[in-house]
Amino acid sequence: MDQNWKIETQAVQGNYAPKAAEPRTAAICQSTTFKYDSAEHMAQLFDLDCADPMYTRLGNPTTSVFEEKIALMEGGVAALATSSGQAASAVSILNICKAGQHVVSASTLYGGTYSLFANTLPKMGIEVSFVDPENSIDEMKKAFRADTRCLFAETIGNPGLNILDFEKFSALAKEMGVPLIIDNTLASPFLCRPLELGADIVVHSATKYIDGHGTSVGGVVVDSGKFNWTSDRYPELCEPDKSYHGLRYVEKFGPLAYIIKARAQYMRDLGVTPAPQNSFLFNHGLTTLPLRMERHSFNGLSLAKHLEKHSKVSWVNYPGLESHPSFSATQKYLPKGASGVLTFGIKGGREAGIKFMEACKLIAMVVHVGDARSCVLHPASTTHRQLSEAEQKASGVAPDLIRVSVGIEHIDDIIADVDQALAAS
Ligand SMILES: Cc1ncc(COP(=O)(O)O)c(C=O)c1O
């Protein structure tokens, strides 16, 4: 039944149906361990023959509610919640890629993910090649190797705000025989469902729109259950796993193999587990996600249009504007809205950018996006200040660039705050 509901209903009631006298709101199960009566039951848990909770590092009832709801909303078969968005991206790759193997990724990535791919995965022996997502399939194919294990990209690039050409990327992944992993953080499943557009796996920083209230850091990996792991490339999913008495994931779990393997191996060994309290807050966040995304998108577009006409603004980058290079992709892949993040250029450059940020009153100076409350950042003087001007330019951060994560306050108040801060800059 839940699969047939609209996403607004799934967000509120999906995959959580309490029985008589059970809590209407999925409660916080603040327990590390779970009690059992028989050695046989315990043995079943350890052999992965039974999905009951055993130890919170591997799974927890509050976290399961979050995992099942987000899997439903993304149209996947299963999900694995993690302690952060960074952990979700790392686990999504480590689950199918080991030292000596290779990943291809769009270059337009969140800075933390870029660093994971450019610095940390290579230290673990996994090389990543970056491709310009605007290039043709034939051009991007040149980056693939025999040992390439996946293709990675973001729905809405952060902070470039380019919209991914899903048709091109899913065709490329299919032709190269690898899964397409999509970071859907800035869009959320309300605005875009990558698994319906040819992606195989979705990751999120739940810290952003899923939480929506700036309370918790977390992440999640969702699997479509559709990728065929039985080619020679993914023996770790098909051949016996020594750490589980010779278990073969695909043979035993079919479409659930990828998520069960990620949980059994990476939650067990790395322990990047969300706290039950955070999962509780993500469940609350999901309940209102569709409503918030509508408002974020409306406010984002309204502010972008206002800024386009403002005499103190030299350029505006918002994928919902007709002037944006991704506008046709936005209409095709994000018809319900282009989310709440925009960037613009302030006349007067770096100095004016600092003054603007400091003059904002309603909009807070915060290193964050996806919050119900509006946030502003001048990257050149904050997140990217250690870089030289040339390095900043290479990473897409111009001295005049201001990033706003437009919240869900009334648009008139947001515009009034931006106008007074522009006047003060
Ligand atoms: C698109 C995107 N992916 C991943 C992350 C990393 O998420 P977290 O901060 O939850 O680790 C972020 C954080 O800003 C992000 O914007």
Which tens digits make up the pLDDT trace of 377-417? Answer: 998 888 888 777 877 776 678 899 999 999 999 999 999 99
Q: What is the pLDDT of residue 395?
A: 67
- Distance separating alpha carbons of residues 397 and 300, to the nearest angstrom: 20
The best mutation among 158, 188, 371 to test binding of ligand 1, ranked by most ligand atoms within 8 Å of the C-beta, falls on 158
Q: Render the burial of 129-156: b for 16+ CB within 10 Å, e for the rest.
A: bbbebebeeeebeebbeeebbbbbbbbb
Cα(85) to centroid of ligand 1, in Å? 5
Number of other residues whose CB lies within 10 A of the CB of residue 391: 11
For CATH 3.40.640.10, the residue range(s) in the chain are 2-277
Q: What is the pLDDT of residue 252?
A: 96
- Distance separating alpha carbons of residues 163 and 320, to the nearest angstrom: 10
Q: Is the Cβ–Cβ distance between 358 and 365 less than 8 Å? A: yes
Contacting residues for 321 by C-beta, under 8 A, at least 6 apart: 301, 304, 305, 308, 327
- Distance separating alpha carbons of residues 306 and 366, to the nearest angstrom: 22
Q: Which atom of ligand 1 is nearest to the CA of 156?
A: 1
Cα(86) to centroid of ligand 1, in Å? 6
Q: Which atom of ligand 1 is nearest to the CA of 154?
A: 1
- Distance separating alpha carbons of residues 59 and 41, to the nearest angstrom: 16
Which run of H or E residues covers position 105?
strand 102-106
pLDDT digits (tens, 9 = 90+) for 112-142: 999 999 999 999 999 999 999 999 999 999 9
What average pLDDT does the segment 308-326 reach?
Answer: 97
Least reliable range by pLDDT among 41-55, 85-99, 207-221 = 41-55
Q: Which residue CA neighbors atom 2 of ligand 1 most closely?
A: 110
Q: For residue 59, what is the DSSP state?
A: -
Q: Is the Cβ–Cβ distance between 360 and 376 less than 8 Å? A: yes
Q: Which residue CA neighbors atom 7 of ligand 1 most closely?
A: 85
Task: Judge whether residue 303 has pLDDT over 90.
Answer: yes
Residues with C-beta less than 6 Å from any ligand 1 atom: 84-86, 110, 112-113, 154, 158, 183, 185-186, 205, 207, 217, 219
Q: Could you give the count of Cα atoms lying within 13 Å of 297 in the half-sphere of its Cβ?
A: 21
From residue 139, alpha-carbon distances to 129, 307, 384 in Å are 13, 36, 30
CATH number of 2-277: 3.40.640.10
Helix 276-308 to helix 61-74 angle, to the nearest 10 degrees? Answer: 40
Q: Could you give the count of Cα atoms lying within 13 Å of 412 in the half-sphere of its Cβ?
A: 0
- Higher per-residue pLDDT: 160 or 200: 200
Largest CA distance in the chain: 73
- DSSP three-state, residue 382: coil
* Residue percentage of the chain with pLDDT more than 70: 99
Q: What is the pLDDT of residue 229?
A: 98
Q: Could you give the count of Cα atoms lying within 13 Å of 233 in the half-sphere of its Cβ?
A: 20
pLDDT class of 147 with cuts at 50, 70, 90: very high
Cα(243) to centroid of ligand 1, in Å? 31
pLDDT digits (tens, 9 = 90+) for 267-296: 999 999 999 999 999 999 999 999 999 999
For CATH 3.90.1150.10, the residue range(s) in the chain are 289-424
- Distance separating alpha carbons of residues 381 and 371, to the nearest angstrom: 22
Cα(263) to centroid of ligand 1, in Å? 21
Q: Which residue CA neighbors atom 9 of ligand 1 most closely?
A: 85
pLDDT digits (tens, 9 = 90+) for 212-229: 999 999 999 999 999 999
What's the topology of domain 289-424? Answer: Aspartate Aminotransferase, domain 1 (3.90.1150)
Q: Is the Cβ–Cβ distance between 15 and 2 less than 8 Å? A: yes
Cα(110) to centroid of ligand 1, in Å? 7
Q: What tokens appear for 179 in the block?
A: 């899964």
In which region does residue 188 sit, left (phi positive, over 0), alpha (psi from -120 to 50) or beta (all else)? left
DSSP annotation string for 18-41:
--TTS-SSPPP---SB---S-HHH
Q: Which residue CA neighbors atom 6 of ligand 1 most closely?
A: 85
- Distance separating alpha carbons of residues 378 and 385, to the nearest angstrom: 10
Contacting residues for 154 by C-beta, under 8 A, at least 6 apart: 106, 108, 109, 110, 113, 164, 182, 183, 184, 185, 186
Q: Which atom of ligand 1 is nearest to the CA of 158?
A: 1
- Distance separating alpha carbons of residues 107 and 155, to the nearest angstrom: 12
Q: Is the Cβ–Cβ distance between 404 and 296 less than 8 Å? A: no
- Distance separating alpha carbons of residues 334 and 224, to the nearest angstrom: 20
- Distance separating alpha carbons of residues 219 and 185, to the nearest angstrom: 9
Q: Which residue CA neighbors atom 10 of ligand 1 most closely?
A: 85
Task: Judge whether residue 152 has pLDDT over 70.
Answer: yes
Angle of CA points 320, 323, 327, to nearest 5°: 45
pLDDT digits (tens, 9 = 90+) for 20-45: 999 999 999 999 999 999 999 999 99
Selection from 234, 232, 192 nearest residue 98 by Cα: 234
- Distance separating alpha carbons of residues 10 and 28, to the nearest angstrom: 20
